[in-house]
Amino acid sequence: MKIAMIGAGYVGLVSGACFADFGHSVICVDLDQSKIDALHVGKMPIFEPGLAELVRVNVAASRLSFTTDLASAASDADAIFIAVGTPSRRGDGHADLTYVFQAARDIAAAVTKPTVVVTKSTVPVGTGDEVERILREVAPDIDLTVVSNPEFLREGAAINDFKRPDRIVIGADDERARGVMRDIYRPLYLNQSPLLFTSRRTAELTKYAANAFLATKITFINEMADLCEAVGADVKDVARGIGLDNRIGSKFLHAGPGYGGSCFPKDTLALLKTAEDFETPMRIVEATVQVNDGRKRAMGRKIITAMGGDVRGKTVGLLGLTFKPNTDDMRDAPSLAIVQALLDAGATVRAFDPEGMDVARTMMPDVVYCDGPYAVAEGASAIAIVTEWNEFRALDLARLTGLMVEKRIVDLRNLYDADDMAKLGIEYECVGRPA
């Protein structure tokens, strides 16, 4: 199969490299010349474990290549995937589809034979209809079919998620397109990953339903954590106690500082916009968005309260800034709201993140960036663990707190045990567990 992947961002690059690894011939297209130049010399535009090696192997095997020339990539492809960004539109929260529609126009101008056009970008219900309309308008004489194939990979675990998916959702309204998609995914299909064929609109909505449900699940356990703190219960045990019920499931029940990243915040907002447009309000998702927004800054107040309520002139050290580990992504990270709350209250903020500091520097110039967790601790009255990077799970706590002015840790990811902290004489706060 010859595949053209339009967009060499997270989804496009990972999907392109994995499809090439299945044996398909893949060409990834991006308008950004510097990104393509970097890829040509093996430099990844994102940090994702295993990606550089997967790209290297498949480029060496001539199955994967990169270009800025959409027309030549699309002209003889069997399938053309659209994997461009769909950010929140400034002002109203709708998904901004400018890049998707532009890709559709460019594809229609380039194709020379019947081709399946697949939207992998997260797009609101009905986008496939509009893409189809554009294709028909620009290339009325060529048989082009539009399929929705949303992606469910997580940053930091993207390659594994792509190669071992729980399911593959394919929204295709005609049999020829279904056949092409079956061929593309044959290696996974043979590997027992269920292929779920639906209508195009259903597939588009399924993606939003999944992200909104997961965001709600996290928000539910976060509120439960607050209640646990108030009544003296342990949210980790509550999560285990409910998660062992197969109907609930144990995943995405880790209480923390609120969800962030490039997907849940924007997708929940876009889903609300769709619901509004169709006059079917989704109150549960509305509440999720509101509760999560409030929670991020509340975590800043939690740190301030743990420090006695007045942080003016004091130093707070943050471990972890990215929205989750194994990524350099800072988009909608809880750390942004936490840092702002601390700076507003007059604290000095020191921070370390294994991958996110280059981006963090541009977003939060008033933070003092350090080269490791122990450097962060120097002169601090509190350390807050904001992202659960593995290297923060087994810190030398005596050494860490020995560098601090006051021995205090606020563990927003519940990595440590309150009893161990007490033995070391460390004042310890966590999320939803008795300290």
| Residues from 286 through 325 that contact ligand UGA (CB under 6 A) | 323-324
Q: Which conformational region is residue 358 in: left (phi greater than 0), alpha (psi within -120 to 50 degrees), or beta?
A: alpha
Q: Which is nearer to ligand UGA, 284 or 424 (CB)?
A: 284
Residue 369's H or E segment, with its range, is strand 368-369
Say whether residue 153 binds ligand UGA (CB under 6 A). yes
Which residue, 110 or 218, has its beta carbon nearer to ligand UGA?
A: 218
Which residues lie below 8 Å from residue 379, measured CB to CB, with a gap of 6+? Answer: 315, 403, 404, 405
Q: Would you tell me how many other CB atoms lie within 10 Å of the CB of residue 61?
A: 11
Q: Does 270 bind ligand UGA (CB under 6 A)?
A: no
Name the residue nearer to ligand UGA (CB basis): 105 or 154: 154
**CB-based contacts of 317: which residues, under 8 Å, 6+ apart?**
349, 350, 351, 352, 370, 376, 377, 380, 382, 383, 384, 404
Of 165, 261, 320, 356, the residue at the interface with ligand UGA (CB under 6 A) is: 261
42 in a labelled binding site: no
Listed ranges 138-146, 248-256, 395-403, 422-430: which one lies at the site for ligand UGA (CB under 6 A): 248-256
CA 111 to CA 259: how far, in whole Å? 40
Select from 122, 145, 148, 292 the one that contacts ligand UGA (CB under 6 A). Answer: 122
The verdict on whether 263 is a catalytic residue reads yes
Q: Is 13 in the site for ligand UGA (CB under 6 A)?
A: no
Q: Which is nearer to ligand UGA, 265 or 373 (CB)?
A: 265
Confirm or reject binding of residue 155 to ligand UGA (CB under 6 A).
yes
Q: Other CB atoms closer than 10 Å to residue 53's CB: what's the count?
A: 12
DSSP code for 229: H
Give first-to-last CA distance, the chain, whole Å.
57
Triad 302, 306, 310: Cα angle to 5°: 95
253 lines the binding site for ligand UGA (CB under 6 A):
yes
Determine which one of 28, 263, 370, 430 is catalytic. Answer: 263
Within 195-214, the residues that bind ligand UGA by CB under 6 A are 211, 214
The rounded distance, in Å, linking the Cα atoms of 288 and 370 is 34
# of chain residues touching ligand UGA (CB under 6 A): 21
30 is in an annotated binding site: yes
137 is in an annotated binding site: no
Q: Quick one: tokens of 71?
A: 């027309």
Give me the least distance between CB of 69 and ligand UGA, in Å please: 27
- Minimum gap (Å) between residue 34 Cβ and ligand UGA: 24
CA-to-CA distance for 211 and 159, rounded, in angstroms?
19
Binding residue for ligand UGA (CB under 6 A) from 260, 300, 356, 432? 260
CA 219 to chain centroid: 16
Query: What DSSP assignment string belongs to 165-203?
Result: -S-EEEE-SSHHHHHHHHHHTHHHHHTTPPEEEE-HHHH
Q: Is 252 annotated as a binding residue?
A: yes
Residues that bind ligand UGA (CB under 6 A): 122, 151-155, 211, 214, 218, 252-254, 256, 259-261, 263-264, 267, 323-324
Known binding site for substrate: residues? Answer: 152-155, 207, 252-256, 260, 324
Q: What residues form the annotated binding site for NAD(+)?
A: 30, 35, 86, 122, 155, 266, 331
Catalytic residue positions?
A: 263
